[in-house]
């Protein structure tokens, strides 16, 4: 009785630690990873959609996984879902390991597959469906191991494997391995169920892959998107195997064994955490998500912290700067990957991650046609080809265009969701028929011909300052000074009372290169300090004789430095 | 004791439910009369349907709590009570249509909205005596302009809701797949193009699949649009270098044009290809596309436009519809092409000509300009009577959004086309009836088991084509030929 109480207390302590640690981690360290997982999926409450899960293996895992994913939309919801999922998985893992005779250390040992799960949960392509798949497989094993030795029940258990594939997908392999080990462990001399189940599990995906329209590789991994996501299941099966092979490990708990377990686990946990935490991606996703949520202040705070050197980070920072009217002044204060920080390129070499965000700038600038195109592509290339964020964008675009019929298509989809239906209702009430910046000129252009699109926007709406800034900055980041000067003189010069710093720097380069007359020079009304600095820069640049460091030290955030030293990568 | 308690619970619940029905739910008999048609989706009011079509399930947009639908024919009728989704029993539906062939069905809809029953104005379903070819193939793809990720070719049984995948690009290296095209609705004679590595034109001839590289040296591209000769020996194709670009004005979205294109004849027996020689056009560069054969295989219809500076003069790019004679025995072409539609006099641009199997009608698409009408809202179908030369503007059929990519049924009484009329973005297959007087009837969309299907799908139905039977291959066969077979090369004749 005392031992049971100790066991219980110990288990509760481990469970409490797991829940608290995972909750805090996903609440404070990786919240935006979870937000993003929701944004790249769309769970709708319709019968036909529910049935569509049967088109692929792991129907129940995928359905449950996607059902849970929708809660990641809520602030803190993701942390709750993940920590509860880990808790369930840990409880099941504990039970499974106990079937293999693991002793008091089982609660600690059962943490090992959860740590592996934790590690992968912080990857964008990892979905809760894989966790659910493992849980289902483990539950099936528990049911199997409770059947006793009646051959009929054992055969039924073996035949259950194909059904499990249908419900849990690749989690079936965990069941197969556990049964295999269990039969060796428990029923010496009666190995056929174990071998049979391994055989069936090995062959079944290949046999049915065409029915599911999957490649052989996909058939063995589904619902996981990569082989690495099989690791938590393999760890669990491995632990069972080790417990079976080394029975001495599971007997009495001494202080030594406890300390050893605790130390080993702590090392695994800390090492995993170090590798799990991906601050750069988290920062990028924070910028992208807060921009999506419309919290400009938070985006601003995130940009002020400094951004990681990634096109998506630069992209959202540029949008944020433009929204504050500071793009022309601060363009060179942060990482710029050329013009791809203004417009995320969409081409065969682009990752789906970049494509996914590419519509935001077009929408912001008022280029609804391209915003729609990019949103469509974002959805097409997202892992599930359905995205709540992209459906919202498509609805917004069509409402802005005044195409309420097309918008209704998307709003109706959102009506069938748990957390986006209110947004849909709000959009119907507020934006129908409104259009921020109408385009009045028709021309056709290539998708990547951004200057053509920006010129149309500027010509259609002379107050579209954002489009004008983007046009000027596009030329600047491409080091196309003549085009910049031409656009500046055409659209900006007469209207502007003030020349933003970066534009001023570029204009000085242009005027100096063109040996401009004094009259021409004076027509720009430069700040005298800037002109003086340009003189100092030129002298230093000549003196440095092509060396970057001395120039960067004195003029770190200037267009002059970018113009002379930034190297353009070929697409 | 336990059973006794359970029985009491059941009886109580039953009585309560009866009370609820009697007090708060009201009677459909006391319905308020509404002069308007019920707000049903899809819009199946006043349509003409074949007697072998699957049930026209629909839903009520105002989401009433209860609906009572009564479909009355001359001899038979159907009564259905349901929630806002009306889904008929396939068996009873079939019996009804079979019995009412050639007649008219009146559909009475009553719905309980906000606790009140409403009787809507009844509408009709005319059941044509002519059946429709029972199979339909189409490509499912997101309307992602020029880019793809997941594409499937599917085949649907129109007499039921059964659907199967005949090709899936997940099994073919994510390659692009073009739409599947039959020759004269014959399931044993069809083709489609698989692009990318290991790709080629997949030719299904008498149940045997072949993969051909249709780009002979010097051709601008491999085969794009085309059709197989009724004999099965030849294919006529256009090779097009396609350029997708974007409009800045909103509702046009995408413009796709050819920077170069021409028409070629391919002999599937010898794998020899030759350009179709077009007479009397020396000195002017032309773009030619959308070649098809006449049902007797003795004429090739195609679209042709003089080249203009593109993209700047895109609105001046207008295609004529022409026909040139062809002798299948000698592979000789006529020395003169007949103009069936002139863009100079008509002012518009033609694409996708398709001749009815009886040779009487030629159905084509008319747009203001260009060669890719799916994003042109003004795009409409026209039907030319090849015997009288008269053109029907198909007012009953066309809608404000793009109507195009049509195909005939084998008896020339039905045609299917892709229309974006619902939302302007997602194409869906619509079927229209041409009666024995040549009059077109209001079309109806492909019925689905779940009438909300189109609301929640993010796929467009491309190039729907009718056939008389199921195709002899499936996605597994396509994967095999994609993976294991080298494409047969074609050579210049």
pLDDT category at B20 given cuts 50, 70, 90 is very low
CA distances from A118 to A281, B199, B447 (A): 16, 41, 46
The reported pLDDT for the residue numbered A190 is: 67
Determine contact: A422 vs chain B, CB below 8 A.
no
Determine contact: A351 vs chain B, CB below 8 A.
no
- Asked, for residue B296, whether it belongs to a domain, the answer is yes
The reported pLDDT for the residue numbered A157 is: 73
Count up the domains in chain B and report the number. Answer: 2
Host domain of residue B322: 135-492
Domain endpoint, select from B128, B146, B170: B128
- Locate tokens 């007087």: which residue? B437
A48: nearest CB among B251, B254, B450: B450
> Of the ranges B14-28, B47-61, B205-219, B234-248, which one carries the lowest mean pLDDT score?
B14-28
pLDDT of A515 over the 50 cut = yes
Task: Identify the CA nearest to A58 among candidates A133, A116, A128.
Answer: A133
- Locate tokens 């195909």: which residue? B407
CB B379 within 8 A of CB B373: yes
Higher pLDDT, B8 or B324: B324
Average pLDDT over residues A123-148: 90
Task: Identify the CA nearest to B413 among candidates B363, B469, B464.
Answer: B363
CA distance A476 to chain B (A): 23
* Token pair belonging to A231: 């690791």
Q: Beta strands B414-419 and B272-275: pairing type? A: unpaired
* Token pair belonging to A433: 């028929």
The reported pLDDT for the residue numbered A353 is: 94
pLDDT of B8 over the 70 cut = no
Q: Report the distance separating Cα A125 and Cα A226, nearest Å.
A: 9
pLDDT (tens digit, 9 = 90+) per residue, B302-334? 999 999 998 889 999 999 999 999 999 999 999
Determine contact: B313 vs chain A, CB below 8 A.
no
Determine contact: A290 vs chain B, CB below 8 A.
no
B379 and B452 part of one domain: yes
Q: Report the distance separating Cα A357 and Cα A344, nearest Å.
A: 8
Report the share of chain A in percent with pLDDT over 90: 61
Q: CB contacts < 8 Å between A and B, how many?
A: 117
Determine contact: B142 vs chain A, CB below 8 A.
yes
Q: Report the distance separating Cα A232 and Cα A118, nearest Å.
A: 9
B60 and B176 part of one domain: no
pLDDT of A366 over the 80 cut = yes
Domain endpoint, select from B128, B162, B192: B128
The reported pLDDT for the residue numbered A243 is: 80
CB A320 within 8 A of CB A301: no
What is the CA angle B215-B319-B343, rounded to 5? 165
Q: Where are the alpha helices (DSSP H) in A209-295?
A: 216-221, 231-245, 255-276, 279-293
Q: What is the DSSP letter of A498?
A: S
Q: Residue A401: enclosing H or E segment and its boundaries? A: none
pLDDT of A300 over the 90 cut = yes
Q: Report the distance separating Cα A408 and Cα A218, nearest Å.
A: 35
B82 and B203 part of one domain: no
- Asked, for residue B18, whether it belongs to a domain, the answer is no
Determine contact: B251 vs chain A, CB below 8 A.
yes
pLDDT (tens digit, 9 = 90+) per residue, B25-56? 456 778 899 999 999 999 999 999 999 999 99
A445: nearest CB among B245, B423, B475: B245
Average pLDDT over residues B265-286: 87
- Asked, for residue B4, whether it belongs to a domain, the answer is no
B140 and B82 part of one domain: no
B124 and B169 part of one domain: no
pLDDT category at A444 given cuts 50, 70, 90 is confident
Q: Is B295 helix (H, G, I), strand (E, B) or coil?
A: coil
- 3-state SS, B305-327, equals EECCCCCCCHHHCCCEEEEEEEE
Strand partners, B49: B127
The reported pLDDT for the residue numbered B270 is: 96
- Report CA dihedral (A282, A287, A293, A298) to the nearest 10 degrees: 110
- Asked, for residue B417, whether it belongs to a domain, the answer is yes
Q: What is the DSSP letter of A489?
A: I
The reported pLDDT for the residue numbered B375 is: 83
Average pLDDT over residues B349-369: 96
Which top CATH class is A280-430? mainly alpha
**Radius of gyration for the alpha carbons in chain A, expressed in angstroms and rounded:** 30
Average pLDDT over residues A316-341: 95
A213: nearest CB among B171, B450, B452: B171
Question: Using the beta-carbon criterion (under 8 Å), do B245 and A442 form an inter-chain contact?
Answer: no
pLDDT (tens digit, 9 = 90+) per residue, A401-425? 888 999 999 999 999 999 999 999 9
pLDDT category at B19 given cuts 50, 70, 90 is very low
Strand partners, B301: B292, B323
CB < 8 Å from B in window 244-273 of A = none
The pLDDT mean for chain B works out to 91
Question: Using the beta-carbon criterion (under 8 Å), do B142 and A385 form an inter-chain contact?
Answer: yes
A379: nearest CB among B456, B458, B475: B458
CA distance A413 to chain B (A): 6
The reported pLDDT for the residue numbered A240 is: 87
B206 and B242 part of one domain: yes
Q: Report the distance separating Cα B130 and Cα B364, nearest Å.
A: 23
Question: Using the beta-carbon criterion (under 8 Å), do B170 and A380 form an inter-chain contact?
Answer: no
Q: Which residues of A touch B259 (CB under 8 A)?
A: none
Task: Identify the CA nearest to A402 among candidates B251, B19, B448, B225.
Answer: B251
Determine contact: A349 vs chain B, CB below 8 A.
no
* CB within 8 Å of A267: residues ≥ 6 apart: none
For residue B216, the domain's CATH number is: 2.120.10.30
The reported pLDDT for the residue numbered B26 is: 53
Question: Using the beta-carbon criterion (under 8 Å), do A453 and B311 form an inter-chain contact?
Answer: no
Question: Using the beta-carbon criterion (under 8 Å), do A213 and B253 form an inter-chain contact?
Answer: no
Q: Report the distance separating Cα A148 and Cα A23, nearest Å.
A: 38
For residue B38, the domain's CATH number is: 2.60.40.1220
Q: Which residues of A touch B148 (CB under 8 A)?
A: 380
- Asked, for residue B235, whether it belongs to a domain, the answer is yes
pLDDT category at A8 given cuts 50, 70, 90 is confident
Residue to substitute from B140, B143, B248, interface A, most A β-carbons within 10 A: B248
Question: Using the beta-carbon criterion (under 8 Å), do A403 and B314 form an inter-chain contact?
Answer: no
Q: Is B178 helix (H, G, I), strand (E, B) or coil?
A: coil
Determine contact: A554 vs chain B, CB below 8 A.
no
The reported pLDDT for the residue numbered B13 is: 52
Question: Using the beta-carbon criterion (under 8 Å), do B246 and A445 form an inter-chain contact?
Answer: yes
Average pLDDT over residues A283-294: 95
pLDDT of A440 over the 80 cut = no
Residue to substitute from B456, B460, B474, B480, interface A, most A β-carbons within 10 A: B456
- Asked, for residue B15, whether it belongs to a domain, the answer is no
In chain A, domain spans: 2-277, 280-430, 472-565
* CB within 8 Å of A137: residues ≥ 6 apart: A164, A168, A171, A172, A173, A174, A175, A178, A233
pLDDT of B24 over the 80 cut = no
Report the share of chain B in percent with pLDDT over 90: 80
Q: Which residues of A touch B453 (CB under 8 A)?
A: 48
Q: Report the distance separating Cα B405 and Cα B225, nearest Å.
A: 11
pLDDT of B261 over the 70 cut = yes
pLDDT of A436 over the 60 cut = no
pLDDT category at B7 given cuts 50, 70, 90 is low
The reported pLDDT for the residue numbered A188 is: 58
Q: Report the distance separating Cα B282 and Cα A247, nearest Å.
A: 91
Determine contact: B245 vs chain A, CB below 8 A.
yes
B61 and B143 part of one domain: no
Q: Which residues of A touch B249 (CB under 8 A)?
A: 369, 439-442
* Token pair belonging to A257: 């064994």
CB B254 within 8 A of CB B375: yes
User: What is the length of chain B?
Assistant: 493
B248: nearest CB among A214, A416, A456: A456
Domain endpoint, select from B128, B153, B186: B128
Chain mean position to CA A191: 44
pLDDT of B486 over the 50 cut = yes
The reported pLDDT for the residue numbered A289 is: 96
A48: nearest CB among B152, B456, B476: B456
B93 and B163 part of one domain: no
The pLDDT mean for chain A works out to 89
Q: Report the distance separating Cα B180 and Cα A464, nearest Å.
A: 46
CA distances from A98 to A111, A139, A185, A258 (A): 13, 13, 12, 17
Average pLDDT over residues A380-401: 93
pLDDT (tens digit, 9 = 90+) per residue, A46-102? 999 999 999 999 999 999 999 999 999 999 999 999 999 999 999 999 999 988 877
Cβ-in-10-Å burial (0-12, 13-18, 19+) of B221 comes to middle
* Token pair belonging to A107: 């609660």
- Asked, for residue B445, whether it belongs to a domain, the answer is yes
B430 and B321 part of one domain: yes
CA distance A426 to chain B (A): 19
Determine contact: B143 vs chain A, CB below 8 A.
yes
The reported pLDDT for the residue numbered B352 is: 95
B358 and B448 part of one domain: yes
Determine contact: A52 vs chain B, CB below 8 A.
no
Q: Where are the alpha helices (DSSP H) in A431-566?
A: 450-460, 465-477, 481-487, 501-513, 518-522, 528-544, 548-554, 559-565
Determine contact: A439 vs chain B, CB below 8 A.
yes
Average pLDDT over residues A27-53: 95
CA distance A379 to chain B (A): 9
Average pLDDT over residues A117-123: 89
DSSP B454-478: HHH---EEEEEEEESS--S--HHHH
Question: Using the beta-carbon criterion (under 8 Å), do A213 and B144 form an inter-chain contact?
Answer: no
Higher pLDDT, A448 or B108: B108
CB B225 within 8 A of CB B243: no
DSSP B364-377: EEEESSSS-GGG-T
B197 and B327 part of one domain: yes
B187 and B93 part of one domain: no
pLDDT (tens digit, 9 = 90+) per residue, B223-239? 999 999 999 999 999 99
CB < 8 Å from B in window 449-468 of A = 452-453, 456
B250: nearest CB among A49, A439, A447: A439
The reported pLDDT for the residue numbered A28 is: 94
């Amino acid at each position: 009785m005392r031992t049971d109480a100790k066991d219980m207390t110990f288990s509760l302590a481990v469970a409490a630690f797991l829940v608290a640690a995972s909750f805090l981690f996903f609440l404070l360290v990786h919240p935006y990873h979870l937000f993003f997982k929701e944004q790249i999926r769309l769970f709708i409450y319709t019968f036909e959609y529910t049935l569509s899960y049967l088109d692929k293996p792991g129907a129940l895992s995928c359905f449950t996984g996607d059902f849970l994913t929708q809660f990641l939309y809520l602030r803190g919801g993701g942390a709750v879902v993940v920590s509860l999922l880990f808790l369930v998985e840990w409880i099941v893992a504990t039970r499974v390991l106990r079937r293999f005779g693991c002793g008091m250390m089982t609660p600690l040992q059962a943490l090992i597959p959860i740590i592996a799960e934790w590690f992968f949960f912080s990857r964008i392509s990892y979905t809760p469906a894989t966790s659910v798949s493992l849980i289902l497989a483990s539950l099936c094993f528990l049911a199997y191991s409770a059947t006793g030795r009646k051959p009929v029940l054992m055969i039924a258990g073996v035949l259950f494997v194909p059904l499990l594939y249908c419900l849990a997908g690749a989690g079936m392999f965990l069941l197969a391995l556990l049964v295999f080990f269990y039969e060796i462990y428990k029923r010496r001399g009666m190995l056929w169920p174990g071998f049979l189940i391994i055989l069936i599990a090995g062959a079944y995906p290949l046999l049915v892959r065409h029915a599911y329209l999957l490649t052989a590789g996909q058939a063995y991994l589904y619902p996981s998107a990569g082989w690495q996501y099989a690791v938590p299941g393999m760890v669990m099966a491995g632990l069972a195997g080790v417990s079976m092979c080394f029975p001495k490990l599971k007997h009495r708990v001494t202080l030594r064994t406890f300390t050893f377990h605790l130390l080993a686990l702590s090392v695994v946990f800390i090492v995993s955490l170090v590798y799990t935490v991906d601050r750069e991606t988290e920062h990028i996703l924070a910028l992208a998500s807060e921009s999506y949520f419309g919290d400009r202040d938070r985006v601003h705070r995130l940009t002020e912290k400094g951004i990681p050197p990634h096109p998506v980070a630069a992209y959202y920072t540029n949008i944020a700067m433009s929204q504050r009217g500071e793009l022309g002044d601060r363009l060179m204060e942060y990482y710029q990957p050329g013009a791809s920080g203004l417009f995320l390129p969409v081409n065969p070499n682009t990752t789906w991650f970049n494509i996914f965000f590419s519509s935001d700038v077009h929408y912001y600038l008022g280029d609804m046609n391209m915003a729609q195109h990019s949103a469509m592509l974002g959805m097409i290339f997202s892992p599930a080809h359905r995205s709540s964020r992209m459906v919202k964008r498509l609805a917004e675009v069509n409402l802005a265009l005044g195409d309420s019929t097309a918008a209704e298509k998307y709003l109706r989809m959102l009506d069938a969701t748990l957390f986006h239906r209110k947004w849909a209702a709000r959009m119907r009430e507020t934006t129908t028929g409104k259009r921020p910046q109408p385009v009045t000129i028709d021309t056709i252009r290539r998708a990547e011909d951004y200057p053509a699109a920006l010129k149309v926007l500027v010509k259609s709406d002379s107050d579209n300052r954002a489009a004008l800034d983007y046009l000027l900055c596009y030329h600047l980041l491409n080091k196309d000074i003549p085009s910049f000067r031409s656009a500046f003189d055409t659209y900006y010069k007469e209207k502007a009372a003030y020349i933003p710093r970066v534009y001023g720097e570029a204009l000085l380069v242009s005027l100096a290169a063109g040996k401009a007359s004094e009259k021409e020079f004076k027509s720009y009304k430069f700040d005298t300090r800037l002109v003086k600095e340009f003189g100092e820069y030129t002298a230093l640049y000549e003196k440095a004789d092509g060396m970057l460091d001395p120039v960067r030290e004195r003029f770190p955030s200037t267009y002059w430095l970018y113009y002379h030293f930034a190297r353009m990568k070929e697409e | 004791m336990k059973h006794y308690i359970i029985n009491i619970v059941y009886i109580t619940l039953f009585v309560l439910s009866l009370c609820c029905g009697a007090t708060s739910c009201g009677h459909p008999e006391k319905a308020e009369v509404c002069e308007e048609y019920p707000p049903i989706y899809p819009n199946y009011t006043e349509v003409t349907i074949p007697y072998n079509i699957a049930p026209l399930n629909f839903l009520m947009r105002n989401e009433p709590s209860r609906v009572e639908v009564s479909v009355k024919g001359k001899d038979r009728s159907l009564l259905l009570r349901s929630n806002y989704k009306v889904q008929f029993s396939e068996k009873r539906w079939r019996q009804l249509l079979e019995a009412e062939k050639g007649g008219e069905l009146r559909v009475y809809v009553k719905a309980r909205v906000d606790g009140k029953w409403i009787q809507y104005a009844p509408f009709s379903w005319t059941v044509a005596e002519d059946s429709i070819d029972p199979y339909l193939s189409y490509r499912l793809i997101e309307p992602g302009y020029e880019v793809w990720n997941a594409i499937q070719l599917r085949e649907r049984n129109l007499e039921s809701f059964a659907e199967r995948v005949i090709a899936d690009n997940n099994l073919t290296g994510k390659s692009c797949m073009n739409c599947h095209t039959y020759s004269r609705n014959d399931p044993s004679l069809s083709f489609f193009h698989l692009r990318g590595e290991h790709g080629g034109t997949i030719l299904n001839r008498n149940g045997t699949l072949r993969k051909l590289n249709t780009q002979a040296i010097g051709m601008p591209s491999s085969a794009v649009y085309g059709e197989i000769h009724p004999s099965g020996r030849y294919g006529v194709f256009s090779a097009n270098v396609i350029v997708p670009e974007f409009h800045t004005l909103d509702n046009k979205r995408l413009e796709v044009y050819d920077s170069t294109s021409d028409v070629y004849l391919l002999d599937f027996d010898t794998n020899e290809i030759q350009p179709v020689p077009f007479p009397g056009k020396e000195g002017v560069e032309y773009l030619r596309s959308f070649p098809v054969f006449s049902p007797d295989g003795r004429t090739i219809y195609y679209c042709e436009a003089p080249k203009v500076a593109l993209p700047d003069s895109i609105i001046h790019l207008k295609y004529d519809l022409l026909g040139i004679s062809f002798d299948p025995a000698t592979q000789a072409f006529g020395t003169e092409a007949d103009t069936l539609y002139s863009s100079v006099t008509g002012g518009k641009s033609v694409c996708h000509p398709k001749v009815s199997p009886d040779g009487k009608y030629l159905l084509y698409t008319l747009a203001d300009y260009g060669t890719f009408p799916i994003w042109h809202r003004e795009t409409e179908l026209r039907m030319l009577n090849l015997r009288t030369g008269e053109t029907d503007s198909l007012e009953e059929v066309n809608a404000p959004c793009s109507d195009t990519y049509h195909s005939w049924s084998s008896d020339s009484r039905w045609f299917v086309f892709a229309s974006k009329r619902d939302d302007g973005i997602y194409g869906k297959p619509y079927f229209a009836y041409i009666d024995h007087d040549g009059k077109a009837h209001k079309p109806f969309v492909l019925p689905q088991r779940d009438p909300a299907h189109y609301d929640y799908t993010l796929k467009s139905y491309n190039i729907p084509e009718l056939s008389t039977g199921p195709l002899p291959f499936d996605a597994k066969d396509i994967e095999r030929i994609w993976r294991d077979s080298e494409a047969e090369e074609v050579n210049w004749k």
